Chain A
Amino acid sequence: MDLSLTTRQEDNHTVVVVGGEIDVYTAPKLREQLIDLVSAGSYHLVVDMEGVEFLDSTGLGVLVGGLKRVRAHEGSLRLVCTQERILKIFRITGLTKVFPIHSSVEDALAAHE
Chain B
Amino acid sequence: MSATESAAVRASESDPANVIWPILLVEDDDADAYLVSELLDEAAAPVEVTRVRTVAEAVRGSAGSACVLLDLGLPDSEGLSALRRLLAVESGAPVVVLTGLVDEYRGAEAVAGGAQDYLVKGQVNGRDLVRAVRYAIERKRADTAARALRESELRANERARLERGLLPRPLYDDRRLRHTARYRPGRRQSLLGGDFYDMVSTPDGTVHVLLGDVCGHGPDEAALGVSLRIAWRTLVLAGVPEADRLGYLQRVLVSERLHDEIFATVCALSVAPDRESARMRLAGHPPPALLHPRLAALPGAVVGPALGILDEDLTEEVHVELGSRWAVLLATDGLLEGRDGPGGEPLGWEGVLPEISRLWPDGGPDHLLDSLIDRVEARNGGPLTDDVALLLLLWGDD
Instruction: Give A residues with C-beta under 8 Å from B.
Output: 24, 31, 56-58, 60-62, 64-65, 68, 85, 88, 91-95, 97-98
**B286 close to chain A: CB less than 8 A:** yes
Known contacts A24-B188, A61-B263, A88-B348; is A94 also within 8 Å of B303 by CB?
A: yes
Between A and B, 11 residue pairs with Cβ closer than 8 Å are A24-B216, A57-B215, A57-B386, A60-B215, A61-B262, A62-B261, A85-B346, A93-B306, A94-B282, A94-B314, A97-B314
Chain A residues in 8 Å Cβ range of B300: 92
Closest residue on chain A to residue B286 by CB atoms: A92
Whole-angstrom distance between the Cβ of A79 and the nearest chain B Cβ: 14
Write out the residue numbers on chain A whose beta carbons fall within 8 Å of the beta carbon of B381.
none
Asked whether A85 and B305 contact (CB < 8 A) given A24-B188, A65-B261, A92-B300, the answer is no
B347-361 with Cβ < 8 A to chain A: 348
User: CA A95 – CA B285 in complex, angstroms?
Assistant: 11
Per the CB 8 Å criterion, the residue count for chain B at the interface is: 29
Consensus secondary structure, chain A interface = helix
Contacts between the two chains (Cβ within 8 Å), count: 64
Chain B residues closer than 8 Å to A57, beta-carbon distance: 215-216, 263, 386
A1 to chain B, nearest CB (A): 9
Question: Contact: A97 with B284, CB < 8 Å?
Answer: no
- Evaluate contact between A58 and B309: CB separation under 8 angstroms: no
Which chain A residue has the least Cβ–Cβ distance from B314?
A97
Tell whether B397 is near chain A: CB-to-CB under 8 Å: no
B310 at the interface (CB under 8 A from A): yes
Please give me the residue from chain B that is nearest to A63 by CB atom.
B261
Instruction: Name the residue on B nearest A68 (C-beta).
Output: B260
Contacts of B262 in A (CB 8 A): 61
Chain A CB within 8 A of B333 CB: yes
Nearest-CB residue, chain A, relative to B310: A98
CB-contact partner of A91 in B260, B265, B303, B333, under 8 A: B303
* Whole-angstrom distance between the Cβ of A98 and the nearest chain B Cβ: 5
Q: Of B215, B282, B345, which contacts A61 at CB under 8 A? A: B215
CB distance from A85 to the nearest CB of B (A): 6
CB of B303 within 8 A of CB of A98, answer: no
Residue of B nearest to A65 (CB): B261
Which of A56, A57, A65, A95 counts the most chain B CB atoms within 10 A? A57
Cβ-closest 4 pairs across A and B: A61-B261, A57-B215, A94-B305, A93-B284
